[in-house]
Amino acid sequence: MTEKIMKANPIFNPKGNDAVENRTIIKGNTTGLFQLNATKYSWAKSMYQVMVGNFWLPEKVSGLWEDAIQFKNSLTNEERRAYKGILSFLIFLDSIQTVNLPNFSEYITAPEVNLLLSIQAYQEAIHSQSYATILETVVDSSDREEIYYFWRDDEHLLERNKFIWGIYQKFIDTPNDENFFAGVVGNFLLESIYFYNGFAFFDTLADQTKMVATDRMINYIRRDELTHVTIFANIIKEIKKEFPEIYNEKVITDMMGIAVEQEIKWSKHILGKNIIGMSHANIDQYTKYLANNRLSMLWIAPLYPDVITNPYKHLDRLQDNNSEKGNFFETTVTNYSQSTSMNGSWDF
């Protein structure tokens, strides 16, 4: 029977065994050495290539000064409020991920996967820098404090932040199998559901030639987040394969249901009813459509079988900054991990 209490990896374990045939996603007997010439999880090698290739810096995104002019003169009051509230939520999400990812990486016993989580934490920090760059350029300095701490005056956002934080904190306080699995699922949901109505808002503005530089920055962030979705989807599938006694599909579907409910509630609240193209009906349909898409990555049946289309048709016209063909919303996220096989090499 698998031990219920989980133990963090020692920094160095001379008695460990790094042989591929003994390697497991968690609960392995690793030495702590990053032995990357012999790897078990081929998807991690592919993901490494994609994530390193996605390197970018917010300073390279031009045009934010034009956004600053539009923010003051062209946005409606509802659009300005949504811009501030959504940025506040995105800032929280990437802040908590930067801090929390090492807490989970300490229990992953495959070095090739630890490597990905380290890159992910770095990317989350870049996202935080990106939001700071947006705030420094686009909004008045007097508004920055309001945006960072929007949750202090908005009970809807505080509720969302506390829910996500609570999942992570529970595992940190009590690191057992059940809390670890819930935490991994929480990571998956954060990366795959929580960001995306906010992303769609910026895309919707850009489709109307508003805040185009902000949307360009968001597209870089979204590209990173898609790889993070794939990482945690694969971790969950490896747990199912190697530790079926820990895997719990009901936990996934129950938590997904809560995530969808909260995402819909928050998005309707912060977007209101006057954002062109983002009606309450569209928010509801899109979030459920997205949930079905994400569950399919885990080979789980849709929670909302009647929802089969993405209502945001205008997003089909928007391509990401890499000029990659194919719309994210119509393309399985796992495509991002299916790069060329490296046959044991980590080089490009």
Separation of alpha carbons 95 and 82, rounded Å: 20
**Assigned domain for 29 exists:** no
Q: What is the structure's pLDDT at 339? A: 36
Separation of alpha carbons 267 and 264, rounded Å: 5
**Assigned domain for 332 exists:** yes
**Assigned domain for 24 exists:** no
**Assigned domain for 308 exists:** yes
Segment 276-297, tens digit of pLDDT: 889 999 999 999 999 999 999 9
**Assigned domain for 286 exists:** yes
Q: What is the structure's pLDDT at 342? A: 35
Provide the terminal-to-terminal Cα distance of the chain, rounded to the nearest Å: 42
Whether 194 sits among the annotated catalytic residues: the reply is no
Residue 219 has which token pair?
Answer: 């597209």
Segment 138-152, tens digit of pLDDT: 999 999 999 999 999
**Assigned domain for 225 exists:** yes
**Assigned domain for 69 exists:** yes
* Tally of domains within the chain: 1
Q: What is the structure's pLDDT at 277? A: 87
Q: What is the structure's pLDDT at 275? A: 92
**Assigned domain for 23 exists:** no
Q: What is the structure's pLDDT at 318? A: 62
Separation of alpha carbons 265 and 323, rounded Å: 33
Separation of alpha carbons 194 and 114, rounded Å: 24
Separation of alpha carbons 86 and 268, rounded Å: 12
**Which residues, 6 or more positions from 309, have their beta carbon under 8 angstroms from its beta carbon?**
285, 289
> Residue 300 sits in which domain range?
39-336
**CA–CA distance from 68 to each of 64, 87, 102, 118 (Å)?**
6, 15, 36, 34
* pTM higher than 0.85: yes
Domain with residue 77: its CATH number is 1.10.620.20
Residues of the chain with pLDDT under 50: 1-2, 319-348
Catalytic residue among 41, 107, 131, 289: 131
